[in-house]
């Protein structure tokens, strides 16, 4: 069990990073002690800003010896409170933002080695500079950091084609709880030497080690892209259109996002510069994108003819295919601004769930009934990565409804939605992780044997329980 910090240890930790590389004034540490959604507000005696792996190793040696809890902190864009210290005031925050070098770019090997504190946008730009694509793509990519993307196994809008962060990793460098450095930065597609140890740290939210750098997969840059916004009547039509596109274009189908009409209306209302170019009457909208590294693919023609055929089969109402980059960007802005529009609209209850893609219509139909029955002060705003079976099954406060009354519906509604998701063989956290927010539900619903294996791993890698305690796994009484 972690212990409170003694003043001698605090001085030792500050010395480990040197002057100018730690913060302890209330104003300076404020951004590090609450999460992006303001669900939690913790406390910390110090935020350390190391610049090197050696410094992090030294910090972990001290914290392991003194049993001090360490909370690794990236861009603070997480949705589950995974990077926020608890209220005890005894957990130190380890900011990764100064560990932000691109260590190696190997265009011929389609890989790069990059440190944890680089933002996702910086990683994308580095790849682009070498005429390569790093494909992970998220609304928060300007602030989200690679270490956080790895630690939460981030998803986003290109998972359909390229997979989640886990699928993009070739190697990892990790500082363990006792300060040893696991030097696993190989850049190999093939390496069958024993257990896949790196995979343990991906999605572990800093509870098994501190990821300091990664070797990441790169891809050819797209040279031809076709983007469309499509108005449809039902989620079942979305599935039928997705199946047609996949048959016609295979893995050139890069993104397939679902947006309900209410989300479009809220985005047009609250976000400057966003307009809906389509028939206002559609109940649902799709944002579909095809891409290929081959500039002669003529994906616009392919997408146009597929959408024409789908229209002839009665699968869609109105559709618009972007004819310029600006038009495609405007479509993406409409999709990516939905979370912000929801914030402007009022209180919301969020559920980041996944089911097999084939079960999406059932999820929406049965889930809508649950919302009507259990949260009558709210409207369902279910949107997101339909191609991956992942919807943000969010419920927004109805205009004029009492926010407090609405929010009291949260636990009962959440329980019912998670029961529904479970009955469909789904997950209660598709891409946002467990953090602190989903810990109890995760413990209740996970397979007990799987949970026991996770606890064994935690004990083996962090016997003193100092790495991000109070996140992911509920600690067992000692
Ligand atoms: C997205 O897909 C993000 O836009 C955020 O994962 C989802 O706000 C949300 O619930
Ligand atoms: Zn998402």
Query: Cα of 52 to ligand 2 centre, how many Å?
Result: 32
Query: Does residue 394 have its Cβ closer than 6 Å to ligand 1?
Result: yes
For the CA of 339, the nearest atom of ligand 1: 8
Q: Is 189 helix (H, G, I), strand (E, B) or coil?
A: coil
| Spatial distance between the Cα atoms of 221 and 292, rounded to a whole number of angstroms | 8
The tokens for 5 are 């910090």
- pLDDT for 398 beyond 90: yes
Q: Which residues pair with 378 in a beta bridge?
A: 397
Query: Cα of 451 to ligand 2 centre, how many Å?
Result: 25
Question: 360-374 and 410-423 are packed helices; what angle lies between their axes, rounded to 10 degrees?
Answer: 160
Q: Which ligand is nearest to the CA of 393?
A: 1
Query: Cα of 152 to ligand 2 centre, how many Å?
Result: 13
Query: Does residue 392 have its Cβ closer than 6 Å to ligand 1?
Result: yes
- Domain hosting residue 397, numbered range: 346-423
| Spatial distance between the Cα atoms of 169 and 214, rounded to a whole number of angstroms | 7
Do 332 and 392 belong to one domain? no
Residue identifier of the C-alpha nearest atom 8 of ligand 1:
339
For the CA of 392, the nearest atom of ligand 1: 10
Confidence band, pLDDT 50/70/90 cuts, at residue 478:
very low
Do 327 and 364 belong to one domain? no
Minimum mean pLDDT among 2-11, 136-145, 231-240, 419-428: which range? 2-11
Given 201, 220, 239, the domain boundary residue is 220
Query: Cα of 77 to ligand 1 centre, how many Å?
Result: 11
Q: Which ligand is nearest to the CA of 78?
A: 1
Calculate what percentage of the chain has a pLDDT beyond 70: 99
In 3D, which of 94, 154, 151, 152 has the Cα closest to residue 124? 154
In 3D, which of 366, 373, 363, 358 has the Cα closest to residue 412? 373
Q: Provide the CATH number for the domain around residue 353.
A: 3.30.70.2740
For the four alpha carbons of 11, 58, 88 and 72, in that order, the dihedral sign comes to positive
In 3D, which of 42, 129, 27 has the Cα closest to residue 85? 42
Q: Where are the beta strands (DSSP E) in 151-308?
A: 169-175, 181-184, 210-217, 219-220, 224-232, 253-260, 284-292
Domain assignment of residue 159, yes or no? yes
Query: Cα of 391 to ligand 2 centre, how many Å?
Result: 7
Kindly give the residue spans of alpha helices, DSSP state H, lying in 235-324: 235-249, 261-270, 299-312
Number of domains in the chain: 3
Query: Cα of 345 to ligand 1 centre, how many Å?
Result: 15
Confidence band, pLDDT 50/70/90 cuts, at residue 277:
confident
Max Cα–Cα distance, the chain, nearest Å? 75
Domain assignment of residue 135, yes or no? yes
Do 174 and 241 belong to one domain? no
Report the 10 Å Cβ neighbour count for 3.
13
- pLDDT for 143 beyond 60: yes
Do 306 and 231 belong to one domain? yes
Q: For a pocket test of ligand 1, which of 380, 384, 387, 431 has the largest count of ligand atoms closer than 8 A to its C-beta?
A: 384
Query: Cα of 392 to ligand 1 centre, how many Å?
Result: 6
Q: Of how many residues is the chain composed?
A: 478
Query: Does residue 339 have its Cβ closer than 6 Å to ligand 1?
Result: yes
| Spatial distance between the Cα atoms of 145 and 49, rounded to a whole number of angstroms | 14
Q: Which residues pair with 257 in a beta bridge?
A: 287
Confidence band, pLDDT 50/70/90 cuts, at residue 475:
confident
| Spatial distance between the Cα atoms of 97 and 83, rounded to a whole number of angstroms | 13
Q: Evaluate whether 342 touches 266 at the Cβ level (below 8 Å).
A: yes
pLDDT in tens, 75-129: 999 999 999 999 999 999 999 999 999 999 999 999 999 999 999 999 999 999 9
Report the 10 Å Cβ neighbour count for 223.
12
pLDDT in tens, 409-426: 999 999 999 999 999 999
Domain assignment of residue 144, yes or no? yes
Domain assignment of residue 48, yes or no? no
Q: C-alpha 126: how far from its chain's center? A: 21
Q: C-alpha 80: how far from its chain's center? A: 10
Q: Is 288 helix (H, G, I), strand (E, B) or coil?
A: strand
Given 338, 373, 394, the domain boundary residue is 338
pLDDT in tens, 329-378: 999 999 999 999 999 999 999 999 999 999 999 999 999 999 999 999 99
Q: For a pocket test of ligand 1, which of 79, 337, 386, 387 has the largest count of ligand atoms closer than 8 A to its C-beta?
A: 79
Q: Which ligand is nearest to the CA of 350?
A: 1
Domain assignment of residue 164, yes or no? yes
Do 161 and 209 belong to one domain? yes
Do 232 and 329 belong to one domain? yes
Do 216 and 232 belong to one domain? no
Query: Does residue 155 have its Cβ closer than 6 Å to ligand 1?
Result: no
For the four alpha carbons of 425, 355, 83 and 207, in that order, the dihedral sign comes to positive
Q: Evaluate whether 334 touches 269 at the Cβ level (below 8 Å).
A: no
Domain assignment of residue 429, yes or no? no
Q: Provide the CATH number for the domain around residue 201.
A: 3.30.465.10
Do 127 and 202 belong to one domain? yes
Please compute the mean of the pLDDT values over residues 286-303 and round it to a whole number.
97
pLDDT in tens, 181-234: 999 999 999 999 999 999 999 999 999 999 999 999 999 999 999 999 999 999
Q: Beta strand pairing status for 319-321 and 352-354?
A: unpaired
Domain assignment of residue 78, yes or no? no
Residue identifier of the C-alpha nearest atom 6 of ligand 1:
156
Query: Cα of 231 to ligand 1 centre, how many Å?
Result: 21
175: left (phi over 0), alpha (psi -120 to 50) or beta: beta
Tell whether pTM > 0.75: yes
Residue identifier of the C-alpha nearest atom 2 of ligand 1:
384
In 3D, which of 260, 306, 307, 259 has the Cα closest to residue 287? 259
What residues contact 296, with CB distance under 8 A and at least 6 apart? Answer: 224
- The mean pLDDT of the chain is 96
Please compute the mean of the pLDDT values over residues 443-458 and round it to a whole number.
97
Do 243 and 330 belong to one domain? yes
Query: Does residue 384 have its Cβ closer than 6 Å to ligand 1?
Result: yes
Domain assignment of residue 66, yes or no? no
Do 256 and 204 belong to one domain? no
For the CA of 394, the nearest atom of ligand 1: 10
pLDDT of the residue at 2? 83
Q: Which ligand is nearest to the CA of 394?
A: 1
Do 364 and 307 belong to one domain? no
Please compute the mean of the pLDDT values over residues 168-189 and round it to a whole number.
98
| Spatial distance between the Cα atoms of 97 and 419, rounded to a whole number of angstroms | 39
Confidence band, pLDDT 50/70/90 cuts, at residue 5:
confident
Given 423, 451, 470, the domain boundary residue is 423
pLDDT of the residue at 477? 52
CA angle 78/82/86 to nearest 5° reads 130
Q: For a pocket test of ligand 1, which of 39, 340, 341, 352 has the largest count of ligand atoms closer than 8 A to its C-beta?
A: 352
Do 324 and 375 belong to one domain? no
For the four alpha carbons of 238, 241, 243 and 246, in that order, the dihedral sign comes to negative
Q: Provide the CATH number for the domain around residue 331.
A: 3.30.70.2190
Q: Which residues pair with 237 in a beta bridge?
A: none
Residue identifier of the C-alpha nearest atom 10 of ligand 1:
392
């Amino acid at each position: 069990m972690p212990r409170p910090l003694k003043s001698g240890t605090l001085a030792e930790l500050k010395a480990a990073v040197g002057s100018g590389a730690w913060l302890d004034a209330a104003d300076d540490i404020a951004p590090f002690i609450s999460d992006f959604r303001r669900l939690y507000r913790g406390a910390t005696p110090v935020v350390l800003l190391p610049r090197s792996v050696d410094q992090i190793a030294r910090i972990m040696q001290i914290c392991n010896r003194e049993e001090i809890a360490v909370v690794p902190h990236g861009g603070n864009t997480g949705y589950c409170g995974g990077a926020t210290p608890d209220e005890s005031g005894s957990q130190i925050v380890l900011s990764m933002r100064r560990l932000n070098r691109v260590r190696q770019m190997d265009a011929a090997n389609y890989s790069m080695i990059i440190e944890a504190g680089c933002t996702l946008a910086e990683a994308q730009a580095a790849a682009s500079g070498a005429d390569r694509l790093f494909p992970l793509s998220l609304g928060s990519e300007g602030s989200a950091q690679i270490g956080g993307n790895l630690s939460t196994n981030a998803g986003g809008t290109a998972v359909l084609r390229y997979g989640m962060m886990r699928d993009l990793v070739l190697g990892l460098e990790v500082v363990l709880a006792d300060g040893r450095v696991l030097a696993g930065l190989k850049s190999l597609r093939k390496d069958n030497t024993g257990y896949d140890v790196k995979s343990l740290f991906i999605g572990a939210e800093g509870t098994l080690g501190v990821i300091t750098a990664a070797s990441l997969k790169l891809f050819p840059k797209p040279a031809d892209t076709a983007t469309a916004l499509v108005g449809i009547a039902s989620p079942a039509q979305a599935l039928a259109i997705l199946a047609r596109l996949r048959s016609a274009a295979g893995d050139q189908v890069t993104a397939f996002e679902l947006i309900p009409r209410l989300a479009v209306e809220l985005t047009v209302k609250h976000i400057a510069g966003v307009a809906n170019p389509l028939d206002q009457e559609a109940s649902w909208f799709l944002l579909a994108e095809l891409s290929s590294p081959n500039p002669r693919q003529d994906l616009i023609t392919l997408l146009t003819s597929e959408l024409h055929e789908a229209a002839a089969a009665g699968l869609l109402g109105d559709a618009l295919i972007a004819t310029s980059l600006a038009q495609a960007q405007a479509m993406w802005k409409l999709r990516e601004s939905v979370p912000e529009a929801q914030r402007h609209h009022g209180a919301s209850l969020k559920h980041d769930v996944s089911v097999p893609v084939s079960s999406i219509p059932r999820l929406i139909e049965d889930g809508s009934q649950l919302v009507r029955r259990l949260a009558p002060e709210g409207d369902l705003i279910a949107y997101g990565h339909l191609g991956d079976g992942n919807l943000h099954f969010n419920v927004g406060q109805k205009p004029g409804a009492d926010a407090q009354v609405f929010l009291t519906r949260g636990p009962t509604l959440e329980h019912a939605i998670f029961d529904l998701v479970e009955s469909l063989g789904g997950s209660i956290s598709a891409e946002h992780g467990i953090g602190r927010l989903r810990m109890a539900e995760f413990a209740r619903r996970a397979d007990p044997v799987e949970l026991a294996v996770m606890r064994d791993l935690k004990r083996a890698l962090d016997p003193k329980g100092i790495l991000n305690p109070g996140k992911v796994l509920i600690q067992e009484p000692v």
